[in-house]
Amino acid sequence: MSEDGRQVPRCSVAKSTSTPSLSTQGVPIDDSRTTRRGVFRHFALWLYFLAGTLSLVLGIAGIFLPILPTTPFLLLTSYCYIRSSPRLHRWLLHHPWFGPPLRDWERHRGVRRGVKVAAFVMMASVVVVSWLTQRLPPAGLWALTGLFAVGAFVVWRLPTVKIQLPISNDEGPMTST
């Protein structure tokens, strides 16, 4: 305590024979960014953040471009954000568009039937339009058809989440007898 009754912050020195760790005003100095492990961890956090943001941009582009898949990019975004920024991961899970499929995947490791049908219809429509307009060479059309077959197989093999409606014990309006 000082003469006027205020508490005076202390400086402390670690009781180690190695390099002392100074702290100012009772708060230890964070030197984790100066050690090799701390630098690597900080660099890895930034890489996860950048990869998550890039995959989010590609996932958003996939909403409008049927060639780019949206869900795998969102799953990658979730993976990267959970390792770099829990706040961004929470935002992603509670987002009205991105949240439901991500929550289904995290809770049940599957996708809903409607998502499977939409993915199949979008992929099939791209193949059909490509064949009808024939703007690609024949080898390109067959390659696109082969990619469609692989994509359809992958979507078909994903586990399907069954939607369970909450059971209500409501019998209607209460009546007094």
CA dihedral 92, 94, 100, 105 (to 10 degrees): 60
pLDDT of 90 higher than 60: yes
Rounded CA-CA distance 2/66 in Å is 70
Query: pLDDT value at position 70?
Result: 81
Query: pLDDT value at position 64?
Result: 83
Q: What is the CA radius of gyration of the chain?
A: 27
* Contact (CB, 8 A) for 49 and 85: yes
The most confident of 40-44, 62-66, 141-145, by mean pLDDT: 141-145
pLDDT of 22 higher than 50: no
Tell me the pLDDT tens digit for each residue of 126-169.
889 888 998 888 898 898 899 889 888 888 898 898 876 555 55
* Contact (CB, 8 A) for 124 and 114: no
Query: pLDDT value at position 110?
Result: 87
Note if the pTM is more than 0.75: no
Rounded CA-CA distance 131/141 in Å is 7
56-85 average pLDDT score? 86
Task: Tell me the two tokens of residue 57.
Answer: 């941009």
Query: pLDDT value at position 107?
Result: 87
Element containing residue 123 per DSSP (H, E): helix 113-133
